[in-house]
Chains A and B, each alone.
Chain A
């Protein structure tokens, strides 16, 4: 009944129809017998249009990764549902590519074999596979490293391979869970430009989770700010900086204004979270 109402009422007045719909999704963890369950994520609604680049910004423990894992199908919501292109998400699948914070390249496969993993699983013919792989190898700037094993690569190169591996599958949406969190500052800046460059050319729908304010603004067309304990969406801020974006935009007045605004939003939360402990 409720499902029908939601489906028939146009709840979101965005220009394009929503590619991804998060409807009343919440997540609780039981914290042992007799104690109140931990509310990792309050009931959350979110609509993401096609070709949008959304960043989800929040302090650690705000449930942003939980939300992303529910969208990926790697975690089950306690209530609510996720719709991708109108179809409910029931588990992980190749239509939602994922890049993790930890290095998750298969260590026994070379760079090229890692990128080809999803294509192999779906039975893409070898010839087509190697064409796609070499296209993505050059897109992420790893030409010459095709037959290297992950252990021989730097962290930045591993995450570039992971991005290529997810994109080679041609997913409908790309999910990134603090993909540059473990990288040093300089490498992180370069990776942001690389990913943004790819997005500007290919216009994938992207959800990018981060706790870095600059990163959230630089990458996004929309920043979703989340708060901790309980995790919920606090603000939804459009970023109207022009594309293509150059790293110098990080010092523009518009960028700094957004940064100041988001810093205030996050800081209030961080202070509250710190007081609770």
Chain B
């Protein structure tokens, strides 16, 4: 690390080793702080207790079902948001009147904090699944619309001009130039927003819910079971890591032209 120069690439093995070593350092610090008696067990469980608590959760309290329901909520809300937001974003990027119509409102709406909607959404939709999906939907939809619109709108003009001189019409330009040109960006935007959707679902589950990872965490708080809480948080992190990895794999496969 110290021998490296700015922007100089490093070998894969070295890269993996460095990435892994920070996890080791993190757990080591945590172990010293807790097992060494520097931090009270009431406030922070040690790693061993955390793993034991996690095992109990998984084997005896059906935590797997909680994980499954949280994942399905995130995917559901995110999917609905994507299906609506991506086409609107593409239209906004391609057609300036559409952009002029939506852009000011969407720019305003994306600063509305999704978590602040939760009390209102509970009034409207109760504490069922609809409310959870709506929180994720509100949190994601405006972000996706705006970012997709920017990406499509910044398509290289010379590619569009080339398509016109080859006989493409407006529809052809949108379908066969603007969309494929920004497809990798759109995939990247979705990956990013999916990460944010995880935050919204947990917040939604912390307030008014009877299942899910967030619900387990708030339940554990009442029992001062910090080991369980930390286990829940780590599970969220791991799922995020896996979904990120899957997204990257899919992008790599679909957008080979960009990476080679």
Interfacial residues, chain A to chain B (CB-CB below 8 A): 72-74, 91-94, 96-98, 100, 102, 104, 106-109, 117-118, 120-122, 149-152, 162, 165-166, 169, 175
Contact = CB atoms under 8 A, between A and B. Distances in A.
8 contacts: A94-B165, A94-B167, A100-B158, A109-B180, A118-B167, A149-B256, A150-B257, A151-B258
A121 B162 CA distance: 12
A1 to B, nearest CB: 32
A108 B175 CA distance: 13
B165 A72 contact: yes
A236 B121 CA distance: 75
Given A104-B159, A108-B181, A108-B183, A93 B165 contact: yes
Task: List the 7 shortest-distance A-B pairs measured between CB atoms, nearest first.
Answer: A94-B167, A118-B166, A92-B164, A98-B165, A104-B162, A149-B257, A108-B180
B158 A104 contact: yes
A80 to B, nearest CB: 21
A73 B163 CA distance: 13
Contacts of A165: 166
B168 interface: yes
Interface of B: 156, 158-159, 161-169, 172, 176-177, 180-181, 183, 255-258, 260
B165 A92 contact: yes
Contact of A97 (B163, B165, B260): B165
B160 to A, nearest CB: 9
A92 B257 contact: no
Given A74-B161, A92-B161, A108-B180, 14 more contacts: A72-B165, A73-B164, A94-B165, A94-B167, A102-B158, A109-B257, A117-B166, A117-B168, A121-B166, A121-B167, A121-B172, A149-B256, A150-B257, A169-B167
A106 B256 CA distance: 13
B182 to A, nearest CB: 10
Contact of B159 (A98, A106, A118): A106
Nearest to B167: A94
Contact of A151 (B163, B183, B257): B257
A230 B180 CA distance: 40
Given A74-B161, A108-B180, A108-B183, A94 B256 contact: no
Nearest to A98: B165
Nearest to B165: A98
Given A108-B257, A149-B257, A100 B161 contact: yes
Contact of A74 (B165, B167, B180): B165
Contacts of B164: 73-74, 91-93
Contacts of A73: 164-165
B157 to A, nearest CB: 10
B180 A106 contact: yes
Nearest to B161: A74
A119 to B, nearest CB: 9
B239 to A, nearest CB: 31
Nearest to B180: A108
Contacts of A118: 166-168
B18 to A, nearest CB: 29
A104 B168 CA distance: 15
B167 A106 contact: no
Contacts of A106: 159, 162-163, 177, 180-181
B112 to A, nearest CB: 35
Contacts of A94: 165-167
Contact of A152 (B172, B180, B183, B260): B260
Of B159, B161, B166, B255, chain A has the most CB atoms within 10 Å of the CB of B166
A98 B181 contact: no
Nearest to B163: A117
A37 B168 CA distance: 33
Contacts of B183: 108
B61 to A, nearest CB: 49
A163 to B, nearest CB: 12
Contacts of A151: 257-258, 260
B152 to A, nearest CB: 14
Given A149-B256, A149-B257, A122 B162 contact: no
A38 B205 CA distance: 62
Contacts of B177: 106
**Which of A96, A121, A151 has the most chain B CB atoms closer than 10 A to its own CB?**
A121
Nearest to B162: A104
A117 B175 CA distance: 13
Contacts of B162: 98, 100, 104, 106, 162
A171 to B, nearest CB: 8
A72 B166 CA distance: 11
Nearest to A148: B260
A13 B23 CA distance: 83
B258 A122 contact: no
